[in-house]
Amino acid sequence: MKISPCFALLALILSGCVFKGATPKLVPSEPKEPTAYEWPEAALNAQHADGTFVAAITEMQEDWQYDDPCGILATALNRCVATITYRVKLENGTANRYVYAFAHPYAEFGLHVGERAVYLWHRLPVYKYAKCKAQQAMTSAYCDYDILDTFESDYDVLPVADSARVADLRGTK
């Protein structure tokens, strides 16, 4: 039995309508004070961060260039283990900085526009996964990446009240 190209195209379009894409649930949440048990890990994170900034988020955009895309079957079966990338603009009135955040497609994502906090970032290599996967389907060539300022953990977003404590920790580096 031969399937007509029109039927195949229609099936592909309908599958896009039926299957919900894998995207994180945006649930705005304010930064949480680490518990006494969590502070040693948060302190170590602050000491190893490449930078810190007391600011507010003024803009958040998805950045597909660094997303790790899922295939149609993984998305349809809710088994996508990729990442969704957000470019977050931080401003404090006199300066601004862009930091990248990565979210699991089925997780909750708590950053939101207007959130004011102490932000820490880490300079890391970030691969252009979509381009890389397409390229490696044809050849085993090198995977392109950029060095970006990124959020690495929940301890990279702390309450503004912790700014003095973070500054002390960064001074003891």
pTM: 0.77
Q: What pLDDT, on a 0 to 100 scale, did the predictor assign at position 28?
A: 72
Q: What is the pLDDT of residues 110-165, one digit of tens each?
A: 899 999 999 999 999 998 887 787 776 677 667 888 999 999 888 999 999 998 98
Q: What pLDDT, on a 0 to 100 scale, did the predictor assign at position 83?
A: 80
Q: What does the radius of gyration of the chain's CA atoms come to, in whole angstroms?
A: 20
DSSP codes of every residue in 76-142: HTT----BEEEEEEEE-SS-EEEEEEEE-TTSEE---TT-EEEEEEEEEEEE-HHHHHHHHHH--PP
Q: What is the pLDDT of residues 54-107, one digit of tens each?
A: 999 999 998 888 887 676 665 566 666 678 889 999 999 889 999 999 887 777
